Structure 1
């Protein structure tokens, strides 16, 4: 099945700032999450499987990345 990232509904975190430097995500297929830089909507898109995305979010919520910020 074909799908379009240009017509997808991209979402940002509620805590995003107005300067436009945000991560946006969308799910145009049930098994894939796409992520991009809001400042470069025509730029590269990172694609993750649903289990990869769930694992990333769980790690972020658990503080696994706190040491790098």
Structure 2
């Protein structure tokens, strides 16, 4: 499983509050080989989920298009 590049950076949504991650957000990081890692900000000790960059891009497009709204 890929690991975060030492120079890599975890990014949190700009919609996230500034309370250290206790607001139920996720962080993402681009990894070598076209992989995106996603982790829970409330428990950064748990393993991140790894997804192909294309799948992550498709997911974000769906979110922006409202595909997951009820």
Question: Scaled by the length of structure 2, what TM-score is found?
Answer: 0.79
Q: Which has the higher relative contact order, 1 or 2, with Cα contacts under 8 A spaced 6 or more apart? A: 2
Structural RMSD (CA)? 1.8
Q: Which runs of 4+ in 1 moved over 3 A?
A: none
- Count of aligned positions: 65
Distance 1:38 1:13, change over 3 A: same
Name the residue aligned to 1:40.
43
Note the residue ranges of structure 1 that are not aligned, 5 or more in a row: none
